[in-house]
Structures are given as structure tokens and as C-alpha cells.
Copies of this chain bind each other. A is one copy, B any other.
Amino acid sequence: MYLNAIGAYLPEAVVDNQYFEELNNLTDEWIVSRTGIRERRKAAPHENTQTMGIAAVQEALPRLPYGVEEVDLIVGATYTPHDTIVTLGHAIQHSIDVHDIPVVTISAACSSLVNAVEIVQGYFALGKATKALVVASEHNTAYNVETDEKAGHLWGDGACALFISKERQTDSDIHIVDVLTGGAATRGKATESVTLKPLAKGIIMPNGRDVFIHACQYMPKATIDIMERNRLNMDDIDYVIPHQANLRITNNVAETLRLPAHKAVSNVEYLGNTGCAGCGIGLWEKKEKLQKGQRLIITVFGGGYSYGAMLLEV
């Protein structure tokens, strides 16, 4: 599989730590030392999961090396749904106006982007699609409980769009060499550590410590698994983009992997936890600086629990 173009959308409004100091008596120093987060983006009242996903697609279109009408599969990825019937994927289909192609929207919490790419890989293997559009979009602030002192300050909004083809389209395509995913709902306090019950509205994280432990265990494990099955080691990898949950988790993952700090991509400092969109946004930010032959691993962990990894080669 080949990544032909990548787009992103970040809402304009910036929420700094001062806001949470006033709301919850949490100082900037306290938030930064525990999470690395200095600010995050917040969708405007007229925006939602669907509009941000559509904006991310539009942002990518000028760099798409073929017409958008060639897209023959859409997979939306989100755990912050605006609408579960006219899903993110269906809103994207409507916006790009491509008829009668498979469309679906998925969730495996914060690991959904990698799950979506693996579903695309399946459609390519079946010969049922050749050019897919994966859109990850999270409207965390719609479900966030800002006054929650434990987790209210963590979340940000954002979206990314990945155009993926079965065959190489141009020399500047990024090769998606391998993808793996796994559910880990049998581990630890998986079924109660992070929950988003739409009817109760809020994202709740009563067992942050259990999430931290499993994220710090599974993201290195997935990274090592995907390196081993591709006969690579850490020296062969130029960048790792872990799920953007918390800078302490990213640092811990890097330490476990003995990854030099400059090889760990991070945007959580200025975007907060943008859910399953965070890694894709990280790749979008990095893309122009990548050089031919460089390798990246995206490694993710979701609150349900779930994990995944993708090996990319420029």
C-alpha cells in the first residue's frame, strides 16, 4: 500500500493551561509536568467530527496525484461521533460526491487510525478497492468534561485524511510496508479505565494509572513486533510516532525502545490528545521534512484496550 497524500485540519481556537487553572485550580506547571500539554485546539460551535474530517480531506486535495473521483473505498475512524447513522465515512462520501463505493466508520478508540488502514489492506487484498480514503477525526471537546480535574485538560480536537492506493502512484508516495492491530480488552482494567458512554456524554478516565502502564507496555511491544517481522531493528527506524496521549507516555515508550529523543515525534504539547487523529496529524506535520529511504513506525494504544503499529518507508 502507498500513501499518496495526507491532509489535516486543526480548529482555530487555542485553549491554554491558564483556562484550566481558572476552572480547576490546576497550574500550568502541574499540567505540563504530568502531561507535557501546554495548549490544545477546540472546534467552533458550528464544527463537529464530520466537518473537521471533510476539512482534512479538502486540505489534502491540492496534493492528491489523481482525481478524488478515483477513490473507491472510504473508512472513517472516530470514537467521538457526531452522528452514528450518517457516520463520518458517509459524510465524507457525500462531500466528495463519489457514488456506490464501500463506506464504513469504525472505532477501536485511540488506535482506530491503524485499524482503519488494516481494513483498507483487506479490501485491497480482496480486489474490492484500489484507492482508499481514511479519515480520522475527533471532536473530544464535545464529549469532554472540562471540570474533571483528572482528565478535563487532556483533550483536543483535530482530524487527518490519508489517501492510500494499492499500487504506487508517484515517486513521493510513502510505502505502507506493514500493519498490525490487536485488541487487549482482556488485560488490566481494560473495560473500565477509559469510557465514553454517549448517553452519559462524558469521557471518563477513572484508572489513568492502568492506562499508562498498558500504553507504555503495548506501544513498544507493537513497535518491536512490526520491526521483527520485517527484520529491522531500532537503528533502521528514523522516526516513531506514538499515539499522542501524554508526553510522559511518549518519553517512556522512547526509553523502553532506546529511541533517541529526537526520533520520537510529538505534537501533544500544542494539540493535546487528539484521539485517533493524533498520529496522522504528526505524520502530516513531518511529511515535508522526510527524506527518501527513511522509515517511520506509527504505534498506537486505545483505551478499550487496543493497540497497533504501521511501518512506513519514504
Which residues of A are at the interface with B, using a C-beta cutoff of 8 A?
A: 74, 78-87, 89-91, 93-94, 97-109, 112, 115, 118-119, 121-123, 125-126, 128, 142-143, 181-187, 190-192, 194-199, 201, 203, 302-306
**Cα A10 to Cα B33 with chains together (Å):** 50
A196 to chain B: which residues have CB within 8 Å?
Answer: 83-85
Q: Are B85 and A195 in contact (CB under 8 A)?
A: yes
Which of A106, A182, A303 gathers most chain B CB within 10 Å? A106
Q: Are B119 and A104 in contact (CB under 8 A)?
A: yes
Q: Are B201 and A90 in contact (CB under 8 A)?
A: no
Closest chain B residue, CB of each to CB of A77? B104
Q: Are B197 and A102 in contact (CB under 8 A)?
A: no
Task: Count copies of this chain in the complex.
Answer: 2
A143 to chain B: which residues have CB within 8 Å?
Answer: 199
Question: Which one, B87, B97, B182, contacts A100 given CB within 8 A?
Answer: B182
A109 to chain B, nearest CB (A): 4
A83 to chain B: which residues have CB within 8 Å?
Answer: 195-198
**Cα A308 to Cα B188 with chains together (Å):** 38
Q: Are A183 and B89 in contact (CB under 8 A)?
A: yes
Question: Which one, B74, B105, B115, B186, contacts A107 given CB within 8 A?
Answer: B105
Question: Which one, B85, B100, B198, contacts A194 given CB within 8 A?
Answer: B85
A140 to chain B, nearest CB (A): 11
Question: Which one, B93, B121, B122, B199, contacts A185 given CB within 8 A?
Answer: B93
Instruction: Give 23 pairs: A residue, B residue, CB < 8 Å, sorted on A.
Output: A79-B85, A79-B87, A82-B199, A84-B107, A85-B302, A86-B109, A86-B191, A86-B303, A90-B305, A91-B185, A91-B191, A93-B186, A94-B186, A100-B183, A100-B184, A102-B181, A102-B182, A102-B183, A118-B128, A119-B122, A143-B199, A198-B199, A199-B201
A100 to chain B: which residues have CB within 8 Å?
Answer: 182-184
A166 to chain B, nearest CB (A): 13
Closest chain B residue, CB of each to CB of A108? B104
**Cα A118 to Cα B106 with chains together (Å):** 13
Closest chain B residue, CB of each to CB of A80? B84
Q: Are B74 and A183 in contact (CB under 8 A)?
A: yes
